[in-house]
Amino acid sequence: MTSDAGGVHMTKYIFVTGGVLSSLGKGIAAASIGNLLEARGLSVTFQKLDPYVNVDPGTMSPYQHGEVYVTYDGAETDLDLGHYERYTSVRLGKNANFTTGKIYHTVITKERRGDYLGATVQVIPHITDAIKDAIHLGGKGTDGNGVDVAIIEVGGTVGDIESHPFLEAIRQFPYDVGRQNVLYVHVTLVPYIKAAGELKTKPTQHSVNKLREIGVQPDILLCRSEHPLTDGMKRKIALFCNMEPQAVITARDVDVIYDVPLKLHADGLDDFIVGRLGLGGHAPELGPWEAVVDAIKHPRDTVTIALVGKYVELKEAYKSLCEALTHGGIPTRTGVQLKWVDAEALAGHGDGLAGVHGVLVPGGFGERGIGGKLEAVRYAREQRIPFFGICLGMQCAVIETARNLAGLPRAHSSEFDPDGPDPVIDLLPGQAQIDQKGATMRLGGYDCALLPGSLAEKTYGQAMVTERHRHRYEFNNAYRDRLRQAGLVISGTSPDGSLVEIVERPDHPWFLATQFHPEYQSTPRRPHPIFAGFVEAALAHKKGNP
Ligand code: GLN
């Protein structure tokens, strides 16, 4: 680790901001910086600062902000944390995501307690101090022992009213830790104007000006662009934005998102960062990451997986899931093509799934589309197509067996039919009394014991696993025997046996469903075994049914 002259460990801070417009891939840029620094033997951590007022994204529809990413310690966080964990070996916890709501909640709670008695509580300094405290906390890393580099991404776009206090806090931050320990990276757009046949630098100049109005001079610009920036353009941007030409980096559009670190490296990003911050480490070892990118770019075969969900118009809603499917194809060099199937459109005719090599019913909330999801389970079961259910998808698998094989035609989840005769999926013990919606589900990592000899145990190759959860409802134990008699095997439970975590069907080539979300723990370098097993089964199905 980096130390100052007195041998005291000094964490360096890299702040990542965005300008011109949203969706420029700031999260992937931040993740890529972490990836490159880890490849040089440096330890990193991440934090996302989100300007919205919700305390966390757990209460938002995925249509608003994409998937809710669940950390091992049960925080419901922004989906960028998923990118950070997939691009590095870092495991993040609840201190890795702060929103305006969470910051204000802290300050207002203190005010009510009387901590500021006598003072007028204001955005500056009280809110900005709370933001800086949060950054210091996140910068200690998940284990609290400190890291070489903390990478902090500020959500939103420079110029937004909401993000102002966060930008003010990062402007002040060098006064806490020293300017030499801080680096500002600004992600902008350099659009290509077809009519002129030119890349245009003006939006970048304006965006940097906006940042400088606040008092932040960027050290590095990552310029998203369809084409590489010429040296002349880099010099022009550097001149107008008051920086060195080698600090202007092209962030070219790529086909495979895992290629971003390699492209940024080729344009000199990590060399510049390490030089500017005086970081140690060794020459970057990019071999394992290059192997991942190569496997994704050059598959030997492909399979088509139907994703039967409710939010199919918004791919961001299933971010970790799509990535985990890609990872699942890496060990067998199988490309995974997704067929997005709107569950509502499927109700009554599972034939919409004809020709796919695997069916996946993901997690979700609310009744819309349930009929189509049940239909998808039935179709995959009867047609012997590999089936993978996750969370609500597992609950649908249980309901489908109950209705069609266990003689319980009105079986349902009490989430959708609170007074039904056969609630095969019911509220978790302890959930019935809860009246607050925020952060009250069963959240985060819990152990799961696997049944010896089951598909689950063979797939994992171990007897006990830990997986992340996000649900309120659960397999109803009163129906265990009836569902077992209908061919469903309970192959994973909580260690005390009380909660059902995995079900499968031994009479089917590959039928497995989990109450937890395995997608959160999959990374390209460590593809999740269930996703790898599912893709392998889909490939076998394709080969058996060409
Ligand atoms: N709605 C279901 C529950 O709360 C499933 C949740 C999910 O799929 N994440 O139990």
SS (H, E, C) 223-265: EEECCCCCHHHHHHHHHHHCCCHHHEEEEECCCCHHHHHHHHH
- Specify whether 511 is located in the same domain as 389: yes
Ligand 1 pocket, 339 CB below 6 A? no
Residue 6 domain-assigned?
Answer: no
Q: Which of 260, 290, 320 is the last residue of a domain?
A: 290
Q: How many domains does the chain have?
A: 2
Would residue 421 count as lying in a domain? yes
Q: Are residues 234 and 324 in the same domain?
A: no
Give yes or no for residue 398 CB within 6 A of ligand 1.
no
123 lies in the same domain as 171: yes
One domain for residues 415 and 444: yes
What spacing in Å lies between the alpha carbon of 330 and ligand 1's midpoint? Answer: 29
User: Is 442 in the same domain as 525?
Assistant: yes
Query: So what's the pLDDT on residue 5?
Result: 47
pLDDT of residue 6: 47
Please list the active-site residues.
391, 517, 519
Residues of the domain holding 241? 12-290
Distance from residue 365's CA to the centre of ligand 1 (Å): 5
471 lines ligand 1 (CB under 6 A): yes
Inside any domain, residue 295: no
Query: pLDDT tens digit string along 393-434?
Result: 999 999 999 999 999 999 999 999 999 999 999 987 777 777
Residues 509, 371, single domain; the answer is yes
259 and 324 assigned to the same domain: no
Does the CB atom of residue 212 touch ligand 1 within 6 A?
no
| pTM for this predicted structure | 0.94
Q: Which of 60, 70, 361, 392 to mutate to test the pocket of ligand 1 (most atoms within 8 A of CB)?
A: 392
- Give, using CA atoms, the residue closest to atom 1 of ligand 1: 365
Classify residue 207: in a domain, yes or no.
Answer: yes
**Residues 6 or more apart in contact with residue 425 via CB below 8 angstroms:** 395, 398, 399, 412, 413, 414, 415, 473, 474, 475, 476
Please indicate whether residue 392, judged by its CB atom, sits closer than 6 Å to ligand 1. Answer: yes
d(CA 270, CA 518) in angstroms, rounded, equals 32
Query: With a 6 A CB cut-off, is 340 part of the ligand 1 pocket?
Result: no
213 with 334, same domain? no
pLDDT (tens, 9 = 90+) of the chain, 546 residues, equals 555 544 456 899 999 999 877 778 899 999 999 999 999 999 999 999 999 998 888 888 777 778 999 999 999 999 999 999 999 999 999 999 999 999 999 999 999 999 998 899 999 999 999 999 999 999 998 888 899 999 999 999 998 999 999 999 999 999 999 999 999 999 999 998 888 888 888 999 999 999 999 999 999 999 999 888 999 999 999 999 999 999 999 998 899 999 999 999 999 999 999 999 999 889 999 999 999 999 999 999 999 999 998 876 677 889 999 999 999 999 999 999 999 998 888 866 767 898 999 999 999 888 888 999 999 999 999 999 999 999 999 999 999 999 999 999 999 999 999 999 999 999 877 777 777 777 678 899 999 999 999 999 999 999 999 999 999 999 999 999 999 999 999 999 999 999 999 999 999 999 999 999 999 999 999 999 999 999 999 999 999 865
Residues 278 and 318 in one domain: no
CATH at residue 430: 3.40.50.880
Whether 381 and 275 map to the same domain: the answer is no
Would you say residue 221 lies in a domain?
yes
Q: Choose the final residue of a domain: 241, 261, 290.
A: 290
Q: Calculate how far, in angstroms, residue 467's C-alpha sits from the geometric centre of ligand 1.
A: 15
Residues 286, 307 share a domain: no
Closest listed residue to residue 212, CA positions, set 273, 158, 151, 132: 158
In a domain? residue 121: yes
Q: Strand order in 248-252's β-sheet?
A: 97-99, 44-50, 149-154, 12-18, 182-189, 220-225, 248-252
Domain boundary among 290, 324, 351: 290
Atom of ligand 1 nearest to the CA of 362: 8
